[in-house]
A and B are shown apart, each in its own frame.
Chain A
Amino acid sequence: MKVTYFPGCTLKNKAKDLDLYAYKSAEALGVTLEEIEDWQCCGGVFTTANDEVATKLSSVRALKYAVDKNQPLVTVCSACHNVIKQTNHAVQTNSQFADKVNRYMADGSYNGEAEVYHYLEMLRDLVGFDKLKESVVNSLKGKKIAAYYGCLLLRPNSVMRMDDPENPTIMEDFIKALGADAVVYAKRNECCGGYISAESPETAKKNSQAIINNAKAQGAEMIITACPLCKYNLVNNGADIPVVYFTELLAEALGVKEDTNE
């Protein structure tokens, strides 16, 4: 299976592991990630205002690219996923917005035809967690791992439609498929503070520490995330258990992590 892949700015810089292990793991599962040529940064956050058009064009171009390739569009970063899915939804539901963005398109129009998957959704819906389970060579049996969803993977639920936004299971099912024990804790879908680290680091510290302490209190030995900014905030604010990208854990379980050490 071939899919169109949108990596995003941080995955080519500070979050190279998230990108590299996504490639290696997909390959091991029979999926080829075909990276968009000349992709442009999604902007990190979706602007909800109806009259913001230019800030959403990079997403529209990525969506159009996938449609032209006749492939689903896959993202790994929580933020890219959120921005692109919300932009797609805006094109589908707001004809004025669709008309405005299409005035910027060089060839052909885009009308919301693309199907957007987060990598985790790809594993669940296109590969299947059963097949993933069968592909595991290094079982993570006995490891107690907490999934940290944060805010952007699940919300707004009316658009993301990824999982139950208050009682999600997709990351826990992912952890179980790799053979480990999933630690469930209350703050797994609460915000770490995100970009507030640039404005008010104390807020990020307070939120991140509450998340870390909650996960540890439930027995977590490790936290996994799909978001570079979540990882930064948790690590930067005193996480004393490992915080790793879910793709790194996946690569380890699939036995392809060793190949990628530089």
Chain B
Amino acid sequence: MNNKYLQEEIVRISGVNVSKCMRCGKCSATCPAYDEMEYHPHQFVNMVENGEIEPLLNSESLYKCLSCFACIDRCPRGVQPAKVVEAVRLTAIRKQGNNHLKADDIPAIIDDETPQQLLVSAFRKYTK
């Protein structure tokens, strides 16, 4: 399954050259959300290179990335895997009806101490 159009779109939005990856796995080794992911950072890069976009678009892994930039800073080739994850996630949530977090979900999430920062950040990452 090779989706050329989506592949080009992900590369364009992210600005990442996926063919620079040398498969060392350091991005996944340093990822603080590794255990929660079906597809790990190095697999995102690899699958985009192979045009396998649909499995990524439908994976919960999109919503496990913490945007901590660890994979970006620690990649020895400067590939920036988190930018690929972000581009795929945006492609998923930009589709009508695909918001991952809805306002109705908020009452169950918050407590008296919840900082505004948590909500604005989550909405920015999960919702369009």
Q: Report A's interface with B, CB cutoff 8 A.
A: 8-10, 13-15, 41, 43-52, 55, 77, 79, 150-152, 155-157, 165, 190-191, 193-200, 203, 206-207, 227-229, 231-232, 235-236
Known: A231-B115, A236-B113. 12 other contacts (CB 8 A): A9-B120, A15-B115, A48-B83, A49-B87, A50-B14, A151-B66, A151-B69, A165-B73, A191-B66, A197-B109, A199-B64, A203-B64
State whether B67 touches A14 (Cβ < 8 A).
no
Could you tell me which residues of chain B, from 73 to 128, have a CB within 8 Å of some CB in chain A?
73, 80, 82-83, 86-87, 90, 100-101, 105, 109, 111, 113-122, 124-126
State whether A45 touches B125 (Cβ < 8 A).
yes
Q: A79-B117, A191-B32 are in contact. Are A49 and B90 (CB under 8 A)?
A: yes
Q: Which chain B residue shows the least CB distance to A42? A: B120
Q: A48-B14, A196-B33 are in contact. Are A55 and B117 (CB under 8 A)?
A: no
A155 nearest CB across to chain B (Å): 4
CA distance A156 to B82 in the complex (A): 11
Q: Which of A8, A77, A156, A198 contacts B118 (CB 8 A)?
A: A198
Q: A41-B120, A44-B124, A50-B15 are in contact. Are A196 and B114 (CB under 8 A)?
A: no
Main secondary structure of the interface of A (DSSP, over half): loop
State whether B115 touches A228 (Cβ < 8 A).
yes
State whether A229 touches B120 (Cβ < 8 A).
no
Rank and list the top 3 A-B pairs by shortest CB-CB distance, nearest first.
Answer: A44-B121, A191-B68, A151-B68
Q: Which of A46, A191, A229 contacts B117 (CB 8 A)?
A: A229
B16 nearest CB across to chain A (Å): 9
Q: Does B36 contact A (CB under 8 A)?
A: yes
CA distance A42 to B83 in the complex (A): 19
Q: A49-B87, A198-B119 are in contact. Are A156 and B113 (CB under 8 A)?
A: no
Contacts of A198 in B (CB 8 A): 101, 105, 109, 118-119, 122, 126
Contacts of A44 in B (CB 8 A): 117-118, 120-121, 124
Q: A14-B113, A198-B119 are in contact. Are A49 and B14 (CB under 8 A)?
A: yes
State whether A229 touches B70 (Cβ < 8 A).
no
CA distance A197 to B115 in the complex (A): 11
State whether A10 touches B66 (Cβ < 8 A).
no
A120 nearest CB across to chain B (Å): 18
Q: Does B24 contact A (CB under 8 A)?
A: no
